[in-house]
Each structure stands twice: as C-alpha cells, then as structure tokens.
Structure 1
Amino acid sequence: MTARHLISLDDLTDADLHAIVGRGAAFAAGTARGGQPLHGEVAGIYFRRTSTRTRTAFSAGALRLGAQIVSFSGSDLQTNTGETTQDTGRVFSRMLDVLVARTSDDPEEMRGWAAQDRMSVVNAMSADEHPTQGLTDLTTMYGQFGRIEGLRVLYVGEGNNTAAALALGLMRYPGVELELRTPAGYGLEPHILERALAHAARTGSSLTERHDMEQAPKDTDVVYTSRWQTTGTSKADADWRERFAPFQITGELMERSPAAVFMHDLPAHRGEEVTAEVLDGPASIAFQQAENKMHSAMAVLEWCRRGVVA
C-alpha cells in the first residue's frame, strides 16, 4: 500500500474530503461500521508544541481503531543533534505506520517526513493551516445540519491557521457563503485566500473578507471564532488588543442570527474573543465540536491507512 499523507486540505480530492467528513460524522453518530481497521499498526504521536485536543484526539482515536501508539516530545529525537528530517522520516517509516506531527511553523518540514511511501504523515497544525481542525469543523457542521452545501457561515477574528483551513474546506462545497470579519492587518494570508477563491469559483460558493464589524450579516447558520492569541505565536503590534476588541462575539451579535450555532476551536478566553454568555449559552456547540476532533481524527487515520470505509 502506498501511504496517504495529509499535510494540507488541498492534498485531498473533493471526493476524499467529503468522504472523510461523512465518515467522521458517522463515528460521532455511532453509526460507523468497520471494527478496528488499524489493529496491529503503530501510530507515532510527535508534538513539539502544546496541544490538548488534537494530541488527545489522535491518541484516543488511534487506540479506538485498534492501533498502538508511541508518543514523542520535542526533546526526544536526534533532529535536535543535526539528523535531517528526511533521514528521521525514513527511519520512522520502518517502524511506524502513521506519524501525527505538530512540529515547526513550516509545513515543508512535514513534507520532509512524508518523503517516503511507507508511513502516512498527518499535519496536526502548522503556521499557515490547521487541516485536521478544518475537517473537524466540517464534520461538526455536517452532523449539525445534515449538509454543508448552501450553509451561511460568519467567521470573526484573526485570519489564522484555523480560519485558513475553514476557508479551504468550506469552499470545496457548492453554494456555501463564507464571510470573514478580520482586524486590518490580520486577515487571511494572500496565498490562502487565492487558493480558497479558486475553489469557490469552481464550486459556485462565495468568500468575502472585511476588516470591520459594521453591518455584520444576519441570519447566518454558523458564527465561528477562535482565540486571538494563536498557539505559539505573538502579535507584532503593541496595540493589537485595541484592534481586536470590536471583533468579540457577543450576545448582541448572535441576536442577528437567532437560529445560528456558535463554534469555537478552543481553547477559549472568555471576555476576549467571546463572552461567557455565548460560549456557555444554548447556541454553543463548541464542546461537541471538541469531541468531534476525535471522531474526525479517526476518519483521517482510517483514510491514511485503509481508505475511507463507506
């Protein structure tokens, strides 16, 4: 079997992306069949950066699928003494079946791990994209609405790696309307926006980005935010909190879309990007979304090793 890798959502065909999302939703609903397809395999879990949800999701998901796991911290490997990423990947590929990695800001490092065809490599977050978060978000929306086609989504906050994956994923479905409201200077990276718009042109979806909160859209299906201080990053501007303050999710903003659900990739800082009233309120599905990270991780691992089972 040739190993399948997930470094970016753009590594997936539309069919594969849709199948992984559907499979994750089936795991979440308890309707997935297939036993333990990773029985006898070994998953490496390598995180050089902090993680609560993603690390736990892939560890628990691998175990539930029948795999054993080996965990590594940032100080464990000989890459710290000069061994190349490619050589380490070649060694890993003779002992592991899949490697889930959160390493550096540069996704090309993970492509170094993937420069072999025996071991699957999963990007558990890089600076420009968080693909497994994007799949979790799509899985959550699919489970909530029974569809992704035609949804109206408002994302408020920094155009970070979560927003990038959300845009790249949603624009792979027809008729989706995604509006991003981001502080000036903190929008989507141009290369991400270009890729997402290319998908939108192909599927008939729409993506717009504004840098103010005036006339925020009404009657959306989903209101989404993420924390203002992305894991492992800092802001260049000393006054960044003042710039971000108008982009808080409040009860007043949610009232513009009374039927909407609220999503957050967590961890959350109540009183910053979202009020406690919203995060802990009846519209919030943020903690179901967190649980779905495990279900989505299981679908990703199954796709990497076996192909998605319908």
Structure 2
Amino acid sequence: MTAPVRHLISISDLDDDDLRHIVARGARFADSGRPYPQTLDGDVVGIYFKRSSTRTRTSFSSGSLRLGARIVTYQNGDLQLATGESLEDTGDILGRMLDVLVARTAEPTADLRALAARSRMAVVNAMSAEEHPTQALTDLTALQRHFGRIEGLRVLYLGEGNNTASALALALTRFPGTELHLRTPRGYGLEADYLAQAAKQAEAYGSTVTERHDMDELPADVDVIYTTRWQTTGTTKPDPDWRDVFAPFQARAELWETSPGAVFMHDLPAHRGEEVTAEVLDGPTSIAFWQAEHKLYSAMAVLEWCARGRITETAAPDETPETQA
C-alpha cells in the first residue's frame, strides 16, 4: 500500500476535505464510466458480512474487482471469532494478510474499532448497530449528482432513527445551509449521542437538524423525502404493535402536495405498503434505485481512499493517478 492506513468506521473519522473528496471521487467514477483506473492493483480486500446484504456487499466486492484488487470473502462462522478468538487477535492476523477489510456486523461499532486496533489493514464499516457510514456517502454522492450540490438542500426523513439516519445526520449537517428534518416515532428516534453530535455540527456549519415524533406541521418545499425500511436489518422490535406506531410515518403521495419538486430516496430494501407505498417507490419522483447504483461508485471511492488516500482528480479514467498522502 502506498499511503497510510485509513479506517472508515464512522462518518466522524473523515475530516471535511476527505468527506468531500470521497463524494467527489464517487461522482467522478459515476460520470467517467469504464475503464476504471486500476488504483488497487495488487491489493487484497476481505469481505466479511455477518448479516444479509445485497447492495453493500455487491458494491464493495464489485468495486474492489473493478479497481484491480482481489477479494477474499467470509461468511458468518468462517472466522475463529466463532470459537472465541478475540476481535483484536483476529484483526491482528487479518491485517498481516489483507489490505482492506469491509465488515458488516450489525453489532456495536466498538467491535469494528477492536478489529482495527492492532491492524495494518484499513477497516470499513459496512453497517454496525449504530451507524451505516457508507450509506450516507452513497446518499451524498447521489445528491451531488442529482442536484449538482449538497449545500442548501432540505431533506425530510421519515421513520425509524436507525443506523442510516444516524450516518445521514452526521454527514449532511457538515454542509452549510442544509436542513435535515427527522420525523421518527416516539421511542424510535436517533440515539441521543448522534443527535447531539449532529446538532453541534449544525451550529458550527450553519446547517439545521431537528427531530419530532409526529407528522404535524411538516416543512414545505423540501428537496428530498427519505425513508428506510421499518424493520432494520438484524433487529427486532419488542413492541408487538409497533407497526401501528409507525403507520403515520409512511411515505405516501400526499406528502408531495406541499413539496411537489421533491425526489424520493430510500436506502433499500423496500417493503411496499409498509414504510412506502408502491405509488411513491415506483413513481416518477423516486430515484431510489438510481440512488442504489451509487453504492458501487461510492464503495470504489471509499476503498481507494482507505488504501491510497486522496487521488488527484485530474487523471484520465484509464490512467493510474498519483496519490496524495
């Protein structure tokens, strides 16, 4: 590897320049198309998913291969973690053989920090219990390409304050003039630490983040209406009547009466008739599946940043650019 190891375990691991670089680099991959630069030629990327995944796993596997890396895949139970080996020891060993490890645990983010503690490899959080940072980077990349900017965008987020919402709050509030309006069912909001950090960032960057637990007095003329599945991957809800609590927060066509220019976003998978109606998900305002395509471009940008640092944007798509430390 030609640059220091960089972990992406939380959006907070990125400084402002790195955050903007990854978004811009992902957009460049999307705009340039094939052939992609072989910037990861000679690297080996581990793909470790304890939980199911379609988009994230495929994007990081495909992205690694498209940039010239080789991949090693692990299923749940393949590693000696299943027999009691510590996360630190596992990370130490994998770091002697891999350049990057992309891991989805759906467990505390601290587990990924432990994997990275003694490691020579970069560790990428492909979704932990608290945060889904690569989803937020995908979303920012899609927003940048669709609107031509992120600054000043107004986003209405509906539903559970889950790991996608946490990452989005940490990312979006670092762009001046943005507004993130979170409408979450009572008892299912953002974790207090994430909301507090996002609010602190909003004050520093001149953005706005608010959370309410009702659907009254919704903001008008938002740019984006965003939701996620109500049953977050790898989790269950203790309340047997939770669907009744969530029902008012469904993304349905009436929301566009006061925001006719809004696009619809969803991190997928979607459950038509629950968090979103088929009319909205499959309708003309939806960019959800186009948004999902950006998982590939964003994953490539993340992998490259972790293994090589910031790549100069002036290089042609079929050339291997110089790196910046």
Give TM class, smaller chain: over 0.9
Distance 2:106 2:119 in 1: 22
Give the AA of the match of 1:21: V
Residue in structure 2 matched with residue 257 of structure 1 by the alignment: 259
Decide whether the 8 Å contact of 2:63 with 2:297 is kept in 1.
yes
1:27-53 CA-to-partner distances (Å, cap 9, x unmatched) read 112269971100011000000111111
Residue in structure 2 matched with residue 39 of structure 1 by the alignment: 41
Match for residue 93 of structure 1 among 92, 95, 108: 95
Distance 2:4 2:10 in 1: 18
Note the C-alpha offset of 1:104: 4.3
Note the C-alpha offset of 1:117: 5.0
| Structure 2 spans left out of the alignment, 5+ residues | 314-325
Distance 1:89 1:171 in 2: 32
Note the C-alpha offset of 1:255: 2.5
1:259-303 CA-to-partner distances (Å, cap 9, x unmatched) read 111000000000011000000011100001111001000000000
Distance 1:33 1:26 in 2: 12
Distance 1:168 1:33 in 2: 33
Counterparts of residues 56-71 of structure 1 (less than 5 Å): 56-71=58-73
Give the AA of the match of 2:192: P
Distance 2:141 2:104 in 1: 21
Match for residue 128 of structure 2 among 101, 105, 126: 126
Residue in structure 2 matched with residue 236 of structure 1 by the alignment: 238
| Structure 1 spans left out of the alignment, 5+ residues | none
Distance 1:32 1:170 in 2: 29
Decide whether the 8 Å contact of 1:26 with 1:32 is kept in 2.
no
Distance 2:232 2:141 in 1: 22
Matched residue SS, 2:20:
helix
4+ residue runs over 6 A deviation: 31-34
Give the AA of the match of 2:93: V
Decide whether the 8 Å contact of 2:36 with 2:67 is kept in 1.
no
What is the aligned-residue identity percentage? 65
Decide whether the 8 Å contact of 2:29 with 2:36 is kept in 1.
no
1:72-125 CA-to-partner distances (Å, cap 9, x unmatched) read 001101111111111111111111000000124111111111113520000000
Residue in structure 2 matched with residue 171 of structure 1 by the alignment: 173
Distance 2:256 2:73 in 1: 41
Distance 1:29 1:255 in 2: 33
Note the C-alpha offset of 1:308: 2.4
Match for residue 279 of structure 1 among 278, 281, 291: 281
Residue in structure 2 matched with residue 294 of structure 1 by the alignment: 296
Give the AA of the match of 1:216: L
Counterparts of residues 87-236 of structure 1 (less than 5 Å): 87-236=89-238
Distance 2:52 2:36 in 1: 32
Give the AA of the match of 2:7: H
Q: Does 1:72 align with 2:78?
A: no
Q: Does 1:30 align with 2:41?
A: no
Matched residue SS, 1:66:
coil
Distance 2:151 2:144 in 1: 9
Aligned CA-pair RMSD? 1.2
Decide whether the 8 Å contact of 1:48 with 1:74 is kept in 2.
yes
Give the AA of the match of 2:99: D
Distance 1:104 1:266, change over 3 A: closer
**TM-score using structure 2 length:** 0.93
Decide whether the 8 Å contact of 1:171 with 1:200 is kept in 2.
yes
1:202-232 CA-to-partner distances (Å, cap 9, x unmatched) read 1000111111111211110000000100001
Decide whether the 8 Å contact of 1:2 with 1:117 is kept in 2.
no
Give the AA of the match of 1:85: L
Distance 1:31 1:295 in 2: 10
Distance 1:47 1:68 in 2: 17
Counterparts of residues 10-25 of structure 1 (less than 5 Å): 10-25=12-27
Distance 2:196 2:217 in 1: 25
Distance 1:32 1:131, change over 3 A: farther
**TM-score using structure 1 length:** 0.98
Note the C-alpha offset of 1:25: 1.1
Matched residue SS, 1:223:
strand
Distance 2:72 2:36 in 1: 24
Decide whether the 8 Å contact of 1:38 with 1:66 is kept in 2.
yes
Distance 1:77 1:306, change over 3 A: same
Note the C-alpha offset of 1:17: 0.4
Distance 1:32 1:169, change over 3 A: farther
